[in-house]
Structure 1
Amino acid sequence: MPRKSCTECGARSKLHVHHKDRNPANNSTENLVVLCASYHLKLHWHEDRSKRIGALMGQRYAAGKSALVAKPQPRSN
């Protein structure tokens, strides 16, 4: 019988099916878990946090590096 509540908190409304391996084509029962919308959002937010931080730091590094390499422009009076 399919699970009718969130595996984390027991909520019975706004349920989502989460793919543990993030592959939506892998629908094996071992890869699926039922989560409420709140826990599903939190799970993805925490998993993706390091990716977002890494991308942000990469952008800042690239911007800082280009500022160091850029030649000063002569002033026009």
Structure 2
Amino acid sequence: MPGRSDRMFCSVECRVDAREHPEHPCTMCGLFFRRKTSRTVYCSRSCADRAHSIRMIGTGNSHYKDGTSYSKWFKETRPLIFERDKDACAACSAPYKPITFMRNGAPAQKSNLIVHHLDEDPANNRVENLILLCATCHSVHHHSAETPFPWFAEYTRQASESMTSKWKATATTLLTVYSSTTA
């Protein structure tokens, strides 16, 4: 009779559990793991997140249209708004301060300023619809029954008109390139 150290399971319950829930490979990394439910396909949250990121690239993204998306348009327009609004909150003039944090084990930076859509439509990334706000002013705007900043639309129109011709040409080019995302 084999000794206690030769046993594969600590009890009859563990042996039955292993038979009912065998190990399966993670569909992302291939590591074998015991699923919690029959629908579990990833060994960890990070594998699930990586798989989701891969699925959302290109045509997997519900906002994908002909190789362009309004999120790409936004990313390319964002620096123009920082330049136009002089790296400061348009409402209270709070200056830009980079915030350093860790992303995937490497230091990364984000801004204390938010590019806000005046019409609340994330697909409308025209420069006249975007304004730079600090987190406080952005929160005040969204938590007010009526906007405390009714002058935003006029400000963005005038500020955009007074920019250099190179800045205007870049904004116009972006609008032309991403016009299919506004339809």
Match of 1:53 in 2: none
Amino acid of the residue matched to residue 94 of structure 2?
A
Q: Calculate the TM-score normalised by the size of structure 2.
A: 0.25
How far off its partner does 1:33 sit? 0.5
- 1:37 and 1:17 mapped to 2: Cα distance? 10
What SS does the corresponding residue of 1:46 show, helix, strand or coil?
A: coil
Which structure: larger Rg?
Answer: 2
Where in structure 2 are there 5+ consecutive unaligned residues? 1-79, 98-111, 147-183
Question: Is residue 46 of structure 1 aligned with residue 147 of structure 2?
Answer: no
40 and 27 in structure 1: CA distance in 2 versus 1, 3 angstrom threshold: same
47 and 33 in structure 1: CA distance in 2 versus 1, 3 angstrom threshold: farther
Count of aligned positions: 48
Amino acid of the residue matched to residue 37 of structure 1?
A
Question: Is residue 28 of structure 1 aligned with residue 111 of structure 2?
Answer: no
Match of 1:70 in 2: none
Identity across matched positions, percent: 42
Greater Cα shift, 31-40 or 7-16: 7-16
| Superimposed CA distance per residue, residues 12-69 of structure 1 (whole angstroms, 9 cap, x where no aligned partner) | 1310011000000100000000000000000000148xxxxxxxxxxxxxxxxxxxxx
Where in structure 1 are there 5+ consecutive unaligned residues? 49-77
What SS does the corresponding residue of 2:141 show, helix, strand or coil?
A: helix
Q: Relative contact order, CA 8 A, sep 6+: which one is greater?
A: 1
**CA RMSD after TM alignment:** 1.6
